[in-house]
Structure 1
Amino acid sequence: MSEATSFTITLTQQQDYRFLIDFGDGLPNLLSDESPPVGHGEGPAPSHLLAAAVANCLSASLLFALRKYKNHPEPLKSTATVQMNRNAQGRLRIGHIAVSLEIGQPEDALLHRERILSQFEDFCVVTQSVNQGIPVSVTVRDAEGQLLHETRREAT
């Protein structure tokens, strides 16, 4: 039987397309805004927040898996690149997210790397959920730029 959990966030319009996002539980609020010409770009747009959530979740999942096996991967760096496309009706959509993760250590310093790299994506709640509608490709490189892992999903 699965465990169901939930949380609630509240968005309050400040002006035009600028919203104050209240995450509750004593967490700091965040200001979001659409990019010009619709908004004023005074905060991240919803598509930026989605890309950040995917990259953050993958980063945390990889960090957890590496540390579980006593690795010290710091500093970890992640980059998310979003491809925007128009659908058949001409409406703008996120067509693909590519996340590049960089581990701060060389490959030979990582213990159990094959096992870690084959599993860490499966534990990323956000990415696995987003992948059901938007393909997310993932690469992992070590401190020397060596490609350690790649999951390619085609853009829509």
Structure 2
Amino acid sequence: MSEQGRFTIHLEQQDDYQITVNFDWKKAADLLMDEPPPLGETSGPNASRLLAAAAANCLSASLLYCLAKDEPPAHALKAEATCIVVRNEQRRLRIGGMEVRLIVSDELAGSPRFNRCKDLFEDFCVVSASIREGIPIKVEVVDGQGALLHSAH
């Protein structure tokens, strides 16, 4: 697989389960993540909520780009993302499914490009298409000096 477009973000644990995410874009604000009780205090979204937001955002941007290219009208699209949390055979929580609803303005729905775009935009969404296909994840645990303590593929 090509590493074209590779990027790295940095996360750092603060207190308890609060983790600050530092993005690789200078203008992007840091993001505080947290877990719901009993672990955390819901001081920020957890990973499941960010995954749902990422899929809905990507689908929204893809549809907007297809319909309006460089000048999408303001406030013309809303989205709702529902994450369905289930337990697997080992009773571990997993995301069993996701439902994304895009709510478009009359202006977008009336676009001459709408019929063409409704059949194309999902294929151009990096996040939802990757989730559907399954994303291989390599995990490493290293100590403060960089020595490998664990590796899984």
- 2: distance between equivalents of 1:118 and 1:107? 15
Aligned equivalent of 2:79 = 78
Look up the equivalent residue of 1:115 and give its one-letter code: R
State the 1:68 CA deviation: 3.4
Q: Secondary structure at the match of 2:90?
A: coil
Q: Secondary structure at the match of 1:83?
A: strand
Q: Secondary structure at the match of 2:48?
A: helix
Partners of 1:71 and 1:111 within 8 A in 2:
no
Give the number of the structure with larger relative contact order, counting CA–CA contacts within 8 Å between residues 6 or more apart.
1
Q: Return the index of the structure with the highest Cα Rg.
A: 2
RMSD in angstroms over aligned alpha carbons? Answer: 2.4
Aligned equivalent of 1:103 = 104
Aligned residues: 134
Q: TM-score, normalised by structure 2?
A: 0.79
Aligned equivalent of 1:67 = 68
- 1: distance between equivalents of 2:75 and 2:25? 29
- 2: distance between equivalents of 1:53 and 1:90? 26
Q: How does 1:113-152 map to 2 (within 5 A)?
A: 113-133=114-134
Q: Which runs of 5+ in 1 are unaligned?
A: 135-156
State the 1:107 CA deviation: 7.3
- 1: distance between equivalents of 2:64 and 2:101? 14
- 2: distance between equivalents of 1:44 and 1:113? 33
Look up the equivalent residue of 2:105 and give its one-letter code: G
After superposition, give the CA deviation of every residue in 1:26-60 in whole Å (9 maximum; x if it has no partner).
12100000111111110000000000000000000
Q: How does 1:80-95 map to 2 (within 5 A)?
A: 80-95=81-96
Q: Percent identity?
A: 47
Look up the equivalent residue of 1:11 and give its one-letter code: L
Aligned equivalent of 2:19 = 19
